[in-house]
Structure 1
Amino acid sequence: MVGTEETRLIVLRGNSASGKSSVASGLREQFGRNLALVGQDNLRRVVLRERDRPGAANIGLIGATARYALDAGFHTVIEGILYADRYAVMLEDLVRDHRGTSRCYYLDVPLQETLRRHSTKPDLEYLSQVTDEHLREWYRERDLLPNGIETVIDAGSTLDDTVKHILRDTGLDAVQPLDR
């Protein structure tokens, strides 16, 4: 078992440029301290400098990092593409083992909107490295976790509405953040 009855676990999944990182940042901004962000890109690309492959080391590192944060009393957001065929077992085990409230969300954004959103990113170096062709190659339509454990949020939901929805749904809107 992991975490406490008071901790919240939030999993944000979706294709590249679907808004996962923006939602995670918005949750932290709205909630405040004591909300850990466990980003797939950071752990996989920065910490391990690893490609996203089945059985890769980042899968365990994401799970271990989230478990550590929950055990330390942090509400925890895991965000990333997190393809179902590679990450489902780790995510389902984590949700099953978590003592507190766990909610999973899939940001369902069509490919054309994904391409449009990607083109608006301010990081020119990133845009030169990640092309529309990459996005097309990586895109998986409605790559949902098995067992129906995800709430699907469509592209029509604004960033603010999505953040408010998740805060309400998880009960974080009624929890005071700890000043650590």
Structure 2
Amino acid sequence: MIVGSEETRLVIVRGNSASGKSSVAAEIRASFGRGLALVGQDNMRRTVLRERDVPGGANIGLIDMVVRYSLDAGYHVVVEGILYADRYGDMLAGLLGDHRGVSSCYYLDIPIEETVTRHASKADPDYLAQVTERELRDWYRERDLLPDGVETVIGADSTLADTVERIMCDTGLAGLAARVD
């Protein structure tokens, strides 16, 4: 089922826990302004459904539906999350194949030691108590890339500002106007 228009942009930002996905997505949205939907895996899975990340989970279909609805409503969409390739790959491939506009995928490739360091710097003590270093190491998947080389890999040497600028330019979002309504 074809979704969106030739003008809409679909951006997928994936990577391990604490790799910077949420920060990148939030900065893209702040840089662009109104008219860009942010679909976070954790929000759909944890907050909306209160579901664990399991193969075949209901959140996979929910993410797909929200992205499609947003694209059809004329929004640009940034999807962000760990989005393990074996669990979410088919859904993401379907979105990429069905989207009429520009679609771009990015994988934040951050080594485990840097992941642990970034996680420890988070300001939310409740989250730090819930997600331990052991869990980070258990969840970590080195270069969990989608098939067919569809992702641009961004390494730990890219700053938040550099990563956001790259994605804004690559996708054409930097040259588009935000909604005023």
TM-score range normalised by the length of the shorter chain: over 0.9
Cα deviation 1:92-143 (Å, max 9, x = unaligned): 0000000000000000000000000000000000000000000000000000
Cα deviation 1:71-102 (Å, max 9, x = unaligned): 00000000000000000000000000000000
Within 5 Å, give how 1:17-32 maps onto structure 2: 17-32=18-33
Distance of 2:39 and 2:30 partners within structure 1: 15
Query: Quick check: 1:152 aligned with 2:153?
Result: yes
Distance of 1:24 and 1:118 partners within structure 2: 17
Question: Which residue of 1 is the match for residue 163 of structure 2?
Answer: 162
TM-score by length of 1: 0.99
Query: Quick check: 1:89 aligned with 2:109?
Result: no
Query: Quick check: 1:179 aligned with 2:180?
Result: yes
Query: Quick check: 1:125 aligned with 2:136?
Result: no
Question: Which residue of 1 is the match for residue 78 of structure 2?
Answer: 77
Distance of 1:40 and 1:136 partners within structure 2: 19
Shift of 1:179: 1.8
Distance of 2:99 and 2:161 partners within structure 1: 27
Cα deviation 1:140-169 (Å, max 9, x = unaligned): 000000111000000100000000000000
After TM superposition, the runs of 4+ consecutive aligned structure 1 residues lying more than 4 A away are none
Distance of 2:59 and 2:92 partners within structure 1: 13
Question: Which residue of 2 is the match for residue 57 of structure 1?
Answer: 58
Query: Aligned residue pairs: how many?
Result: 180
TM-score by length of 2: 0.99
Within 5 Å, give how 1:134-149 maps onto structure 2: 134-149=135-150
Shift of 1:29: 1.0
Distance of 2:29 and 2:120 partners within structure 1: 25
Distance of 2:94 and 2:62 partners within structure 1: 14
Query: Quick check: 1:8 aligned with 2:14?
Result: no
What's the RMSD between the two structures over aligned residues? 0.5
Distance of 2:136 and 2:10 partners within structure 1: 28
Distance of 2:180 and 2:60 partners within structure 1: 30
- Equivalent residue of 1:6, what SS? coil
